[in-house]
Every structure is written in structure tokens, then in C-alpha cells.
Amino acid sequence: MHEPLVLTEKVDERYHYGSISKHIAKFQIGQVVRHRVFAFRGVIFDVDPQFANTDEWYESIPEEVRPSKDQPFYHLFAENDRTHYIAYVSEQNLLADDSDLPLSHPDIPEWFDLTGRGTYELKKHSTN
């Protein structure tokens, strides 16, 4: 009979063993959010439990406003007064948008249905 494996040292929480994150996302897919600082809003279409973009992208953010990588990051169909684009935003920089103003990003109809309540519901074929 084999002896059981026993953990002899404290787990280092800086590492995500087995790629399982301890983070719980505050926002959900289909939710409309706005940026805390910059004048844009959008609908969430994907969530990373922690930073999952390139180091180059991360380093391009000025250090004084660079968010921690150790938090959920959200993919948004984003828009402002001038244009539509895809944004990648840390949880700390997002707020729920309760304005009820419709979004006009051209990719939204392909991914979401607008419900009678004014919310966005992910279409079945958009799930992975």
C-alpha cells in the first residue's frame, strides 16, 4: 500500500495551479458596462478569470494606471461617440451601465439577441 501524498508546505497563492483561477467575475456575458475613466461603454462577450493578453499589450499601458493582472478581464463590443471597437478591460476599470441606452456596435446582432427587458442574451450558436 502506498503512503498518501501530504502537502508539507503552504500553497503559494501567487501561482494558479492547474490553470484554475480563484477569481469570480463581477460582471457577466451580455451585461452592458462602462469604463470607470474613459468615455466608452459596451457589452461583454467573453471573460478571462485573470489577464490573458500579451505582455506587449500590458506593457503599453502607462505604469501609473496599469491594472493588476490578477483579476478578471473582459472582452467588450465597445463604442464611444466616434467609433466601434473591441476592448479588453480589467474588472477594476468597469462599472455596470444602467442607462438603458441601446448599443450600436455592428457585431452585437451576430452574437446577441436583445430581449424585451432591454438586456442582451447570447445566441445559442455563439457559445463555445
* Per-residue pLDDT tens digits for 55-87: 999 999 999 889 999 999 999 999 999 999 999
Question: Would you state the pLDDT for residue 118?
Answer: 75
CA dist., res. 122 & res. 19, Å (int): 26
Q: Which domains are delineated in the chain?
A: 22-126 (2.30.30.390)
Q: Among 33, 28, 27, 25, which Cα is nearest to 105's?
A: 33
Q: Among 112, 92, 83, which Cα is nearest to 50's?
A: 92
CA dist., res. 2 & res. 29, Å (int): 46
Give the DSSP letter of residue 66: P
Q: Give the Cβ contact number of residue 102 at 10 Å.
A: 10
Q: Among 30, 4, 24, 54, which Cα is nearest to 121's?
A: 30
Q: Read off the pLDDT of each residue in 15-40 and give the average, rounded to a whole number.
A: 81
pTM: 0.80
Question: Would you state the pLDDT for residue 21?
Answer: 59
SS3 assignment, position 78: strand
Taking 90 as the threshold, does the pLDDT of residue 93 lie above it?
yes
Question: Would you state the pLDDT for residue 128?
Answer: 57
